[in-house]
Structure 1
Amino acid sequence: MTLDKYRPLADRALEPFVEGADRVGLSPNGVSVLAFALAGVAAGAFYLGGTSPGWYLVGALLVLLNGALDLLDGALARRQNVASTAGDLLDHVLDRYADILIIAGLAAGIGEYALGFVAVTGVLMTSYLGTQAQAVGLDRVYGGMLGRADRLVLVGVVAILTGIVPVTIGWFTLVGWLLVLFAVVGHITALQRFYYSMGALG
């Protein structure tokens, strides 16, 4: 399961927004920084959601906006013909920090720090293996069970559900189970990408 394969479709849907961003003079790097800032505010909202669930709705909106802007910056760079390795590096660095902030906010909000640590390492390893394949001469790998687009959509959906009807199932709230999913499936996805890359290099 990965939504990354629908990236071309998303790029076409964002075309009017790309045109609007270009018209008002936004730069791709500026969009990347704005996306990161939204992730930071979302993390704060998720932390507050631990005691006041309504904040999860705010965090959900900000995370979904972060995902949309993450698509917009690349499309804007191509439209303005300013795509560069430096811009790509900035985008990926900010995305990783955004992932850390979002998961840290979710974990801190429910007091599950150890679970949050395992979840964030799974997410980071997934992203690392995707770009490391490119570093060794392959195409960037987006495959596996859980890509960044999937994670952001899941965070948004779970946050909305928690903001409306906060429930506990067994050991964890919905947010806790989301972190379990990221912890387990994140590492599995990282291994999938590793084995795919090793096979392609072999």
Structure 2
Amino acid sequence: MTLDRFRPVADRLLEPFVRTSKAVGLTPDGISAIAFAVAVAAGLAFLLARPAWYVVGALFVALNGWLDLLDGALARELSTDSPAGDLLDHVLDRYADVVIVAGLAGGIGQYALGFAAVTGVLLTSYLGTQIEAVGLEREYGGLLGRADRLALVGIVGVLAAIQPTLGGYSVVALLLGLFAVVGHLTAIQRFYGAWRALR
């Protein structure tokens, strides 16, 4: 499962937003900063753990994902994509992942589960960029990429507002458990693929 394979489709859908961003003078770095602020807002909404706030958080997560695509598309359009911008984008994305997962975990008081989830998320992302650092092509695939995680957070956010438990378990806790298990498996999958390619 990975939504990253649909990046070409997303790029076409982004074209009017790229034109608008360019017309109003937004920069890729500025959009990255806005995306991070939106992620913080999502984390705070999830921390409140109320039905309406779960929906708000889900909307903010969707917006964060869209802006995360837009900053790169705008950088390519303006021919301003650079290592510095890429670094900023990746750092802010990782902090965004942390605040979103922390908000979900804090909202239900499951801090150990949140720790397991966030380490799975961070190691998945780390392996994706570390693979590039050793000379291979950056890895976006695997069992659960960032686009997949954001989509799942958005879906579970809405679900938590409507049906907060499933089989006696919190849907948010189930999501965090999924991130913990599948995140680490994705990291291992990426490592193994890169290791084989390098040997």
TM-score by length of 2: 0.98
1:125-156 Cα distance to aligned partner (Å, 9 max, x none) = 00000000000000000111000000000000
**Counterpart-to-counterpart distance in 1, 2:132 and 2:149:** 22
RMSD, aligned α-carbons? 0.8
How big is the shift at 1:7? 0.8
Q: Distance in 2 between matches of 1:140 and 1:167?
A: 37
* Count of paired positions: 199
> What is residue 46 of structure 1 aligned with on the other side?
46
In structure 2, how many angstroms separate the alpha carbons of the residues matched to 1:16 and 1:164?
A: 34
Amino acid at match of 1:28: P
| Residue 91 (structure 1) aligns with | 89
The runs of at least 4 consecutive aligned structure 1 residues that moved more than 2 Å come to 164-170
Q: Specify every segment of 5 or more residues in structure 1 that has no aligned partner in the other structure, as ranges.
A: none
Query: What is the aligned counterpart of 1:148 among 142, 146, 149?
Result: 146
In the aligned structure 2, how far is the partner of 1:143 from the partner of 1:16?
27
Correspondence for 1:66 among 57, 64, 70: 64
Checking the alignment, whether the CA contact within 8 Å between 1:54 and 1:164 is kept in structure 2 is no
Match of 1:11 in 2: 11
Map 1:118-137; keep pairs closer than 5 Å.
Answer: 118-137=116-135
Please give the secondary structure, in 2, of the residue aligned with 1:70.
helix
Cα deviation, residue 163, structure 1? 1.3
Task: Specify the code of the residue in structure 2 equivalent to 1:135.
Answer: A
Mapped to 1, the partners of 2:173 and 2:86 lie a distance apart of 32
Sequence identity, in percent? 66
Report the residue type matching 2:178 in the other structure.
Answer: L
- Structure 2 gaps of 5+ residues are none
Deviations 1:44-87 (A, max 9, x none): 000002xx221000000000000000000000001011010000
- SS in structure 2 of the partner of residue 14 of structure 1: helix
SS of the residue 1:83 aligns to: coil
Amino acid at match of 1:201: L
